[in-house]
């Protein structure tokens, strides 16, 4: 028995939509079952395609019970002689979850090696690719090249997260949360991107991420250790809650599906991009680690050792958060971060007032597992009317959820 969408009530949000769910042979294949279930619950007619390798990870019986049709596993065993073109032409979207390096490569090069790759090549519908693999594989230049090419052709990439991988390793490559995958599919089908509406539906959120780089000469710069992880997690969380999201970033990494990404390098670039994006935003979050100083002059040629030890004059950059605070439109909520090593709460309260922010998310960067480059964070959020809330050590995604839980409560009605 299958959970046919013909049985589903017609008033579900995505009734009538047909989605091919491609499952490939990664350990994360078990999470595709949750994606299947959530899509069916939204009214989607889900057609699973399982590769041979996927069948080593999950059983077809599970999909037979949960999806809208029996899973398809081969080009040659279907009653339809051309199942790939039939599915490719009649579906509203294809989501590949998890997507291994193999299927990403086949799709990029147009290689029709099995039913799933043939169907991907045979469709004009939106394709959502959700990679999952070990960090070394994900960071491999060939894989990144394939991802960037697919993205430039319009494929929606739901980037993997940082976290625990098969075999107990930690790093980038863990499949995105099933909620995030479903939100990307909903978005591709013309929905809000948030499952069940979302408490930021209809709102616009701007987030900055990463560390700025201030050039000394054509090859050197002043930078910092920020990796942008917390900013990316905040942008993804705002998207998951239904907001339209702009991410102003110094980090060369794809953002979650449906997020507008603006690439910047210096504090001055970021300042200009933030002021433009923030003018009409409901919530602005300055997560970026902005350089406080930059070289007064940038050498046009590389500074040579033979010329002796250079002396580099530094001048202050503008404080972007304070500038946004000074120009804050009525009703906008401005959120800043603070990296502290002493007097965390007092210093954060001082920054809240000085920069006219509504919330400051303070982290004690001297504590273990907290701040730059870690996958985890622990923060104290200070806010209006003396609000102080400690959020214990958790993933950066959990911190992002805690931040928006508080901020959303202070939003004026739209």
Helix H or strand E segment including 263: strand 260-263
Q: Is 226 in the site for ligand CTP (CB under 6 A)?
A: no
From the list 246, 196, 250, 195, the residue with the least C-alpha distance to 228 is 250
Active site residue 224: yes
Euclidean distance between CA atoms 238 and 245, whole angstroms: 7
Output the furthest CA–CA distance in the chain (Å, rounded). 79
Q: At what angle do helices 229-240 and 178-188 cross, to 10 degrees?
A: 60
Tokens of 290: 């902005």
Binding mask 60-89 for ligand CTP (x = CB under 6 A): ------------------------------
338 counts as binding ligand CTP under rule CB under 6 A = yes
Q: Which two tokens stand for residue 107?
A: 């799709």
Residue 284: strand pairing partners: 206, 334
Least distance CB 318 / ligand CTP (angstroms): 6
Q: Applying CB under 6 A, does 99 fall inside the site for ligand CTP?
A: no
Please, which residues have CB within 8 angstroms of residue 405's CB and are 6 or more apart in sequence? none
> Among candidates 322, 324, 295, which has minimal Cα distance to 310?
295
Smallest separation (angstroms) from ligand CTP to the CB of 405: 19
- 335/333 Cα distance (integer angstroms): 7
Draw the binding track, 185-214, toward ligand CTP (x: CB under 6 A; -: no contact).
------------------------------
**Minimum CB distance to ligand CTP, residue 289 (Å):** 7
Q: List the catalytic residue out of 56, 139, 148, 224.
A: 224
Q: Whose Cβ is closer to ligand CTP: residue 117's or residue 250's?
A: 250
Shortest approach of ligand CTP to residue 270 CB, angstroms? 8
Q: Which of residues 275-334 bind ligand CTP (CB under 6 A)?
A: 286, 288, 290, 292, 317, 319-321
Which lies closer to ligand CTP via its Cβ, residue 106 or residue 319?
319
Shortest reach from residue 268's CB to ligand CTP, in Å? 10
Q: How far is CA 273 from CA 143, 219, 259, 295, 381, in A?
A: 30, 24, 15, 21, 26
The reply to whether 352 sits near ligand CTP by the rule CB under 6 A is: no
Q: Which is nearer to ligand CTP, 141 or 296 (CB)?
A: 296
Q: Which residue has the tokens 């739901």?
A: 158
Within 8 A by CB and 6+ apart from 10, the residues are: 16, 43
Examine residue 339 and tell whether it contacts ligand CTP (CB under 6 A): yes
Of residues 228 and 242, the one with the C-beta less far from ligand CTP: 228
SS3 172: strand
Total site size for ligand CTP, rule CB under 6 A: 14
We find the least distance from the C-beta atom of residue 211 to ligand CTP, in angstroms, to be 10
Catalytic residues: 224
Q: Which residues bind ligand CTP (CB under 6 A)?
A: 267, 286, 288, 290, 292, 317, 319-321, 336-339, 351
């Amino acid at each position: 028995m299958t959970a046919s969408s013909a049985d589903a009530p017609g008033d579900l949000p995505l009734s009538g939509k047909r989605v091919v769910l491609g499952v490939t042979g990664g350990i994360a294949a078990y999470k595709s079952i949750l994606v299947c279930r959530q899509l069916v619950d939204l009214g989607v007619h889900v057609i699973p395609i399982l590769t041979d390798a996927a069948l080593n990870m999950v059983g077809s019986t599970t999909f037979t019970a949960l999806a809208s049709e029996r899973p398809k596993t081969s080009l040659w065993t279907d009653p339809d002689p051309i199942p790939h073109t039939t599915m490719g032409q009649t579906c509203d979207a294809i989501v590949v979850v998890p997507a291994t390096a193999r299927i990403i490569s086949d799709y990029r090069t147009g290689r029709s090696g099995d039913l799933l790759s043939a169907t991907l090549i045979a469709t004009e519908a939106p394709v959502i690719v959700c990679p999952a693999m070990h960090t070394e594989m994900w960071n491999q230049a060939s894989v990144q090249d394939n991802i960037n090419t697919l993205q430039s052709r319009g494929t929606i990439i739901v980037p993997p997260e940082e976290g625990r991988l098969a075999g107990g390793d930690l790093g980038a490559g863990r499949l995105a949360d099933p909620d995030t995958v479903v939100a990307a599919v909903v978005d591709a089908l013309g929905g809000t991107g948030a499952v069940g509406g979302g408490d930021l539906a209809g709102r616009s959120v701007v987030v900055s991420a990463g560390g700025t780089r201030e050039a000394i000469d054509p090859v050197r710069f002043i930078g910092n250790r920020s990796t942008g992880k917390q900013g990316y997690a905040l942008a993804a969380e705002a998207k998951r809650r239904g907001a339209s999201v702009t991410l102003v970033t110094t980090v060369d990494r794809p953002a979650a599906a449906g997020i507008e990404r603006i690439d910047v390098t210096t504090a001055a670039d970021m300042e200009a991009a933030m002021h433009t994006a923030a003018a009409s935003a409901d919530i602005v979050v300055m997560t970026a680690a902005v350089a406080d100083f930059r070289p007064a002059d940038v050498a046009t040629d590389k500074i040579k050792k033979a010329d002796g030890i250079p002396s580099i004059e530094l001048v202050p950059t503008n404080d972007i958060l304070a500038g946004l605070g000074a120009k804050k439109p009525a009703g906008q909520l401005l959120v800043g971060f603070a990296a502290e090593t002493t007097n965390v709460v007092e210093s954060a309260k001082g920054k809240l007032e000085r920069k006219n922010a509504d919330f400051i998310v303070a982290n004690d960067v001297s504590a273990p597992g907290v701040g730059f480059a870690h996958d985890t964070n622990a923060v104290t959020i200070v806010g209006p009317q003396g609000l102080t809330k400690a959020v214990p050590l958790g993933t950066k995604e959990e911190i992002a959820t805690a931040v928006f839980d508080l901020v959303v409560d202070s939003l004026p009605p739209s």
